[in-house]
Chain A
Amino acid sequence: MTEVLDRPVETPDHGHEQHHGPTGILKWLTTTDHKIIGLSYTVTSVMMLVIGGAFAELIRAQLTTPNGTLVSLAQYNELFTMHGSVMIYLFAGPFAFGGLANIIVPIQIGAPDMAFPRLNALSYWLYLMGSITMLSGFFTAGGAANFGWVGYAPLSSSINTPGAGADLWIGGLLLTGFSAIFTGVNLCATIFYLRAPGMTMFRMPIFTWNMLVTAILILLAFPVLTAGLIMLYADRHFGTHIYSVAGGGVPVLWQHIFWFWGHPEVYILALPFFGMATEIIPVFSKKPVFGYKGMIFATLSIAALSLGVWAHHMFTTGVVLLPFFSIMSLLIAVPTGIKIFNWIGTMWRGQIWFSTAMLMAIGFLLTFLIGGLTGIYLASPPLDFFTHDTYFVIAHFHSVVMALVLAGMGGLYYWGPKVTGYLLNERIGKIQFWFLFIGTQVFTLPLYLLGLRGMPRRMAVYPHDPQWKFLNDLSTVGAVLIGVSTLLFVVNIIVSWKKYPAGDNPWDGHTLEWFTTSPPPHHNFYRLPQIRSERPTWDHNHPEHKAVPHGKHAEVTP
């Protein structure tokens, strides 16, 4: 029966704890509970991380020798295409806005569920079916899509890339695209309409703020990609010539459309992970976040600018306005710098607890700094012309995305106990962190040098150059270390399975999710505290150290 829900007031026995419903697989198929849907998203996307990671290990193994024969040239094309596609479309985004955001955002704002629970469930099923569709290309006669994760026209035309694999890639992207759009609608509606009394916009946790901005970006960017994909499909099968010169079309239009989605997508991927780090760092520094409003306006500025920088991916096409896109891209460094300053400011003179989650967040900060700074180089057309399509670009965005993986792992260690009720083993977690952090640097740093020494991306074989081979070998060692870290995470889950009960608030957290039980009950709360700052749980648990309202100074008492 649809439940018409009253908001919980300070009555512990309010009574939504008894929720009877289907069990087992029927529960999974029919659930509309945001926590179960979020958990399904998380498990599926981590499986995608493992699959995409396996493709990466194969790519790195192929490149350990100049004339690698582990896979054929055609298989290599499929591998790098599907590695990028799986990681970008099926792991990073869905993990953040489908997984952790789905679970955490409603609880952080004191809501009983997402605003549209059935739409939320539909989003997951579209995502799962889209993932299966895209990966099933490997089981077709011609193999999976092999034109790179960007699907550039005219390489992606039916003449240059015939076969079902490319169509399954387009179909899978359409399904996951709609899934993302529906999640964006749901997040916006939930944050705008289901906040608890007193939870004003400028008291929302930074993670929720970042998810709101991410949702707005999703709604601005994903429909453009969907339209572009429909036109690509029409070119392939209905005889249109939107992207082909032969019929009067414009191939570079695909690049405009793709990157108009693709660059905001970088921030759709990044902002949730920025939010995770911004939740972890204050809690484990025992301080409120430094520059709360500055963080919010920096996030909004990044989102606004991100819609005007798409063609910095297209500098070498020769048909884009270089000064405009260069200036806009360089401007993004300002709000990003503010964020890094605030993260450091939050840790400054804090009582830092080096838990696994905190180590992951610090690892994220350092790795993202490397990726961000090299992004500034690439925003400059003269440098971009020199490094375009080389391993320098690969190194830059792998520094960025591996930073996000570090933050994501931090998020799992931080919020995992809230979702499951059990802690993960900290010792194994810390070993995992060092493998992941060191592996990331050993994997990415040689790629910068490889790029500067001229090695192009997407090559299955390369000339016999001892320097290139050494750097490739080093990078492969890093990739293996990252693979070991992923295995350690799986081992940790097995070792820690229902072993270390977490309690409701194991980290002395600040935000509302730490006020409820672990795992939270059906519809999340038995009661809610008064909300007078962005740290309501901290205020409730530490009345002697209540947060000071923004813009006011604490009274100094002798």
Chain B
Amino acid sequence: MKVEAKILLTLGVFFGAMCAVYWNWSLENAGGVMMFAGMLLCFLPGLYYYWWSRRMKARPEDDPHATQSEGAGVVGAFPGTSIWPFTLGMGAFFVVLALVFGIWFMIPGLGLVAWAVLGGTAEGRRGGRV
């Protein structure tokens, strides 16, 4: 976890320094804002990882001497199969078509998005179909 934190924080510091030099030198706002936002986007997860890395034991994947048995146990929950990503993708497709061909495409588009959000959430609670 420490390495992950260091990577993100180092990138954030670099973007911050680059932003300071660029903004002061060029007085151009768009690029300065974008680099500043880039810095924040690195600091946000970077500080989270840093905070946790100081408070938790090294995970088996951070331990160079770990054996496979140290990682035994639950890795995570992995859904088998699910129709909802496809449904949500189709919904997003119709929403985009509505931006081009007419607002009526929003009816199937938002309908599919809502259906997929509800279905996906319910599936997450009861477990997906295999």
Contact = CB atoms under 8 A, between A and B. Distances in A.
Interface of A: 1-10, 19-22, 27, 29-32, 111-113, 115, 117-122, 124-126, 128-129, 132-133, 164, 167-168, 170-172, 174-175, 178, 192, 194-203, 216, 219-220, 224, 233, 237, 253, 256-257, 260, 300, 303-304, 307-308, 310-311, 319-321, 324, 328, 523, 527-532
A121 to B, nearest CB: 4
Interface string B69-102: 1111111111111111110111011001101110
B80 A21 contact: yes
A257 to B, nearest CB: 7
Interface of B: 1, 3-4, 7-8, 10-11, 14-15, 18, 21-22, 25-26, 28, 30-31, 34-35, 38, 41-42, 49, 60-86, 88-90, 92-93, 96-97, 99-101, 120, 124, 127-130
Nearest to A115: B76
A324 B88 CA distance: 44
A178 B91 CA distance: 14
17 contacts: A2-B128, A112-B75, A120-B85, A129-B92, A133-B97, A196-B61, A201-B3, A202-B3, A233-B99, A256-B30, A300-B11, A307-B15, A307-B18, A321-B25, A324-B22, A324-B26, A529-B68
Nearest to A125: B89
B128 to A, nearest CB: 5
A310 B38 CA distance: 14
B31 A3 contact: no
A133 B93 CA distance: 8
A201 B8 CA distance: 13
A324 B127 CA distance: 54
A195 B3 CA distance: 13
Given A32-B85, A256-B30, A307-B15, A175 B61 contact: no
Contacts of A199: 61
B68 A9 contact: yes
Contacts of A303: 11
Given A118-B79, A320-B28, A220 B41 contact: yes
Contact of A164 (B8, B63, B101, B124): B101
A126 B64 CA distance: 39
A31 B81 contact: yes
A85 to B, nearest CB: 16
Contact of A300 (B7, B70, B78, B96): B7
Chief secondary structure at chain A's binding surface = helix
A171 B15 CA distance: 30
B89 A5 contact: no
B85 A122 contact: yes
Contacts of B61: 195-200
B14 to A, nearest CB: 5
Contacts of A194: 75-76
A253 B79 contact: no
B22 A2 contact: no
A7 B75 contact: yes
Contacts of B14: 304
A118 B14 CA distance: 34
A319 B101 CA distance: 37
Contacts of A328: 18
Given A9-B72, A112-B78, A129-B89, A304 B15 contact: yes
A80 to B, nearest CB: 22
Contacts of A124: 85, 89
B100 A219 contact: no
A310 B89 contact: no
Given A21-B80, A32-B78, A196-B71, A201 B92 contact: no
B114 to A, nearest CB: 15
Nearest to B120: A118
A22 B72 contact: no
A8 B68 CA distance: 8
B86 A304 contact: no
